[in-house]
Amino acid sequence: MFKSNKRNGVSLNRCKIHLKTGDKVKVLSGKDKGKEGKVLAVSPKEGKVIVEGINIVSKHVKPRRAGQEGGIFKTEGALYACKLQLVCSHCGKPTRIAHKILEDGKKKRSCKKCGEVL
């Protein structure tokens, strides 16, 4: 019998991150589908990013000290990077990334639609 190499799906959900902090992105699926926002943070380890104004989750905070206010705070939750599409800052369209190798050998990201280096 063959020994199965399958793991518990831990690494299967991951997607490669093609985004950087400050990128404008469009949400492809989920409750915020179609919305656009700016990438605030990237977690390559989890394959997730946090986007400004997207995937707002409520956090319940209890007051710990006298005088401190408790309540429900809204904050951005992390999203899988594969649910997001980069919006080109040059042509303003949702695009995929092409990799361009410059004359000096540096690898740069560029827009597949207009070719602009991002």
Q: Where on the chain is the footprint of Zn ion (CB under 5 A)?
A: 88, 90-91, 111, 113-114, 116
Residues of 10-41 as b/e, b for ≥16 C-beta within 10 angstroms?
eeeeeeebbbeeebbbbbeeeebeeebbebee
Q: At closest approach, how far in Å is the CB of 97 from Zn ion?
A: 10
**41 or 117, CB closer to Zn ion?**
117
Smallest separation, CB 89 to Zn ion (Å): 8
For residue 80, the minimal CB distance to Zn ion (Å) is 23
Q: Rounded to an integer, what distance in angstroms lies between the CA atom of residue 27 and that of residue 85?
A: 6
